Amino acid sequence: MSSPVYDHPDPPTRGPARDRSSVIGDGAQTMARWSLRLVLVAAGAVVVAYVIGWLWAIILPVLLALLVSTLLHPVADRLHRWGVPRVAAAALVVLAFVAVTLVILTYMATSVVSQVTDVASRASDGLVQVKDWMTGPPLNLSDSQLAAVVDAITSRLQDAASSIATGVFTGVSAVGNVVINAVLVLVLSFLFVKDGHRFLPWAYGVLGDRAGGPLCEVLGRCWRTLGAFIRTQVVVSFVDAVFIGIGLALLGVPLALTLATLTFFGGFIPIIGALVAGALAVLVALVTVGWGTALAVLALILVVQQIEGNVLSPMLQGKSLGLHAAVVLLAVTAGGTLFGITGAFLAVPAVATAAEVLRYLSERIGDTSEQQPQPVDPEPQRANQQSPPKGAD
């Protein structure tokens, strides 16, 4: 028989060589396209920030009402499942929220008023101790030097009398704005708790499946993220306030319960709020009791904050927010710089919501890439293909 004949595949051929200038030109074009996109994104962000600043008086009550609604909506749902009409359930939870808030504020005010005489007396004794410390080693300041410092401070205050008066009138106006915004927040919270469950079906019906489905999914995720954040912060702040309040009471610091309440509210501003409330407690202990008690209060606050940051918050929050501590700190700093204490309070919920939107977009991009049909490879050519025999012997 004749020997079989094998056809060997041709070696792969390379494409035409490209000039270095064309490669660099393609890279420059890609960089230019992406630079233009980044510039457009930055310009859009600036426009959005300007619009938010322009409409901040309207946006702020809506945001605060949404945060309050995330806390009250589960309670209203539970009452509705027990047979209470939804309107009545929403009214009950909002009224209960108002009542609890008023009780807390009233107690804080009466506590401060009832102890102001004792605090002033202790503060005078504390100032005497501070004066004795400043006149002793290592500062060794003389009475004339202290008098010069006091005279300088008095002169500054007299020069700023007009500014202080203007600030008082500004403060009165600000209090009026706070009252108006508080009423608006309560009304919006009632409406959100009562009719919030109708929004997503309405949006889905208006936008259809193509746009309404993703929008409802994103809004649902953001709502759950905000609810998890608010409920977790309530628990963490309450635990901090309880332990710090007990410690201040045992150490004999005046206004212990008031300082504990401030610690509770300060816990809603991550990192910075706890530091400010703790510094205020240390200052009150220093002025009214003395150095030793102030150091003990400082140690108490540091221990409680370490337990919160390393044990309590990670255990309760887990991965519900998925934000690094550095991101939280930068968000609070940026929010406080741009919008004051309100911005610091809203910074973490805003960043957590934005992170949830980015996660959803990443998942959609991944699902889209997986669903795309993969190119079918052609049947590989056999390396050794036997040709048909020419004949037989």
Query: Rounded distance, CA 385 to CA 383, Å?
Result: 6
Tell me the per-residue pLDDT of 257-283, one tens digit each, with 9 for 90 and over: 888 888 888 877 766 777 788 888 888
CA distance to 193, 196, 268, per residue, from 85 (Å) = 12, 15, 32
Answer whether 0.75 is exceeded by the pTM: no
Which residues are paired to 7 by β-bridges? 385
3-state SS of 223-266? HHHHHHHHHHHHHHHHHHHHHHHHHHHHCCCCCHHHHHHHHHHH
- Tell which residue, 64, 33, 12, has the closest CA to residue 349: 64
Confidence (pLDDT) at 40 = 92
Whether 96 maps to a domain, the answer reads: yes
Identify whether 24 is part of a domain.
no
**pLDDT at 160 (0 to 100):** 53
Question: What pLDDT does 168 receive?
Answer: 43
pLDDT of residue 164: 45
Instruction: Evaluate whether residue 390 is within a structural domain.
Output: no
Q: Phi and psi at residue 369, in whole multiples of 5°?
A: -70, -35
Q: Is 105 within the bounds of a domain? A: yes
Query: Is beta strand 385-386 parallel, antiparallel or unpaired with respect to 6-7?
Result: antiparallel
Judge contact between 253 and 293, C-beta under 8 A. yes
For residue 208, tell me if it sits in a domain: yes
The pLDDT value recorded for residue 91 is 93
CB-based contacts of 159: which residues, under 8 Å, 6+ apart? none
Residue 385 lies in a domain: no
Residue 376 lies in a domain: no
Residue 392 has a pLDDT of 46
* Tens of pLDDT, residues 316-375: 655 556 677 777 778 878 887 877 777 777 888 888 888 888 888 888 777 665 555 555
Predicted local confidence at residue 223, as pLDDT: 85
DSSP state of 8: P
Is residue 300 classed as helix, strand or coil in its secondary structure? helix
Q: How many CA atoms lie within 13 A of 246 on its CB side?
A: 6
The single-letter DSSP state of residue 14 is: P
- Full domain range(s) for residue 302: 56-167+176-368
* 28 is a domain residue: no
Contact predicate 254/118, CB 8 Å: yes
Report, as ranges of residue numbers, the positions in the chain whose pLDDT lies below 50.
1-2, 6, 161, 164-165, 167-169, 171-172, 378, 380-387, 390-393
Residues 193, 70 contacting (CB under 8 angstroms): no
The count of structural domains within the chain is 1
Residues 6+ apart with CB under 8 A from 140: none
